[in-house]
Structure 1
Amino acid sequence: MSFQEWAAAQLAELELLGSMFPTRDELEVLDQLALAELRDYVDGSSPPPSCRAQFVIRQRLQDVDFHMSCTFPPQYPCVIPEITVTSPGLGRAQQTRLQAGLRGYLTEVCLGEVCVLSAADWLRDNLQAFLSETASPAPPDSHASPPREAFSRLWIYSHHIYNSTKRKNILEWAKELGLTGFSMPGKPGIVCVEGAQSACEDFWSRVKVLTWKRIAIRHREDVSLSGEGGEGAVPSVDSLRKFSGFQEAAFDPRGPRGNHMDLGLLYQFLQERGCCHVFQMYFGVEGR
């Protein structure tokens, strides 16, 4: 599929969702500019959108309110959407397990197809099981399979990163969670974190609730460490890292506020670490 075909599928799904959730209390598009750009691009009257469609679906199931925050990556539906579920009826551990279950379902069943409604149906069918969990841990089952481990690398895009407190938080949280990668301040702002999937999700849950003009996961890479179905040695989190430590990286800052980086140096930095493929995902052009 082409970018325009992906965009057309995204727009069609948004229009379907709008008909199924007609009020703003049920469906709220968070960035009307992104929706307008998407519509104009599908019509052929404008270049590819500069930002991504983001929206929230609010529902009430089993007397519990929940919010499903969705962001469409540019390649959706050929990659799964970014969906975060929050509910006051779920504790932190329950919510983490619910999130992991939903992501596993989407990865196995929905890749290549529009799937926001499928995600809502999965929540409707499975939410009660998570609500029924008690705070006390269940007794260990000697026959149960160990939980699957996974490695993740998140490529986060922000309209800008200037604030010194945010920059300090990004550095401290990444180190606290044992994540490696880098943060590029300025306009745009870029953050890459890699490590245990649960730690990456924790980092993202902290960062995204800060006040931003725009922030989203532009791309993510997930690798199962269960070793199921493969041959040879099972990879470890450390063996999959492309970065050593976590740093704030500046690339010859320019402009009156010193907030524009030399993107050629950024591309070189990514190339040296085998990550240059993400440059086009961020900026829409091949790096050099």
Structure 2
Amino acid sequence: MTEHSRAAENAAARADEREALSAIFDGISLTDEIVEASLDLDAGDDDATLFEPGDKAVLRFALSPAYPLDAPATASVAWATAYRVPSSIKDHVEAAVAAALASSSGDAAIFSAVAAANDALNEEAERHAAAYASWRSAAPPVTSRETIVWEGTELTRRLIYSHHIIAPSKRAGLRECAQILGVTTLVKIGWPGAICLEGPKDRVDAFVNHITRWRWKQLAVRGEQDAEERALPRIFLETSDMSTFAGHLRAAGLQELFLRLFK
């Protein structure tokens, strides 16, 4: 087979794939070299959903003249609001896309890659919803004891040390603050106590200002980080085990922040 005829076969295969994709997806952008497909995000105003209104993600493919028979497609995800998406979610989606492209070598790969990305997003959404439901079922009802007002979107983290977190009232109060403010809150109860917060700076500041007015034997902010994107999902988690608390931060790439707890 001549080089010219092989190039013609690749061009014909790309054209057939574009025709099929146009019939499957609404609003997909297609050329002979670039394909852009919007991904399905679980978005809503309720913190039970993984993404917020306005969050968007597009899977972008670059196709060489030798695609699909003799060269693979390359792909990347463009997040419209990347700072709100934890790195773990981005990594999961990108790994799913890479696996789909690898398994489709020598054949049309775009549909399977988009499907794999959406499946990965659906898995993350289900994981988030389950974690949210777990703490929400135990959260106390929102009271009107104080109105907390916030504005702005700058992202930040706080790591807080406490001599201990034992009292049911404090544990319930931390859940309530997380519910009202929509701030990621990881709590290590017992002796010592620790709290890690992540969210918009004004909300995190409101959280810290609120709980510092409670009666504590010792409470101190040991670590602060401003960030461009989330490392943790929007959930509340409580554990009595320090290694588990540290593990959550380590898995999110926040080992250095955790080490500030005892400095």
Between structure 1 and structure 2, the one with the greater Rg is 2
Pick the TM interval, shorter chain: 0.3 to 0.5
TM-score (norm 1): 0.37
- TM-score by structure 2 length? 0.40
Q: Considering fraction of residues, name the structure with more helix.
A: 2
Higher RCO (CA-CA < 8 Å; seq separation 6+): 2
